[in-house]
Amino acid sequence: MGYENDEINRRVKIRDVLKRYGGMEPDRKGFCRCPFHGEKTASMKIYDSNDSFYCFGCGQGGNAVNLCAAFCGISYLDALKRIDADFGLNVFRPTSAMERTRQAAKRELEQRRKEQRAAWRKEQYYKLNDFAKELEKMPLSAAVSHDIAYIDRLLDKFRKSENEPFDGVPDDFDADARIAALRTKYREGDADGSS
């Protein structure tokens, strides 16, 4: 109920609730009659600065939802739902127990996938990083220099996608295959005597 409460109190002003359910508007000074006790003189003050009210006659106070509950003679939760429906906010979405279970399972699956992608990304990053260190120890040739730059660009993609959507690095990226291909190139280069 926390999200719904905050959202409704943020979107609906106390003056709107006062007018809709009480059929009244406060005077120039922000006073009106209190729905919590019978009175002839207005003793309830509306505070626009923090969207609340306080009655100097009976001591009741609160927000727009409290006011709706008082006017309608309903509970706080029912007042939240009534405001949601009457003002067309669509904050409350009726869900069955099965739907709540399905949503919880979906959130759990998304979290697990997120953790798996993070672990996969970290593993690929460390493999590339280790290989970059290995390359730096090799005798510098044009091919090695080019491949160091290539690995650096790949590592940059991983670093940039750390806090962003997984756009920087394709899901099917395979550091082992890339490293194996580069090692094969060096072995062939050694066989030719051209490394």
Mean pLDDT by 10 residues, the chain (195 residues): 82 94 91 86 93 93 92 91 90 72 85 86 85 80 78 80 58 82 71 44
pTM of the model: 0.47
- Residue in 74, 50, 75 with CA at minimum distance from that of residue 63: 50
pLDDT tens column, 23-54: 889 999 999 988 888 888 899 999 999 999 99
* Distance separating alpha carbons of residues 69 and 11, to the nearest angstrom: 17
For domain 2-86, give the fold. DNA Primase; Chain A (3.90.580)
The confidence score (pLDDT) of residue 167 equals 53
The confidence score (pLDDT) of residue 92 equals 77
The confidence score (pLDDT) of residue 1 equals 61
Only one residue has tokens 């009976």, namely 58
Spans of all domains in the chain: 2-86, 113-192
User: Hey, what's the torsion of the CAs at 131, 133, 135, 137, to 10 degrees?
Assistant: -140
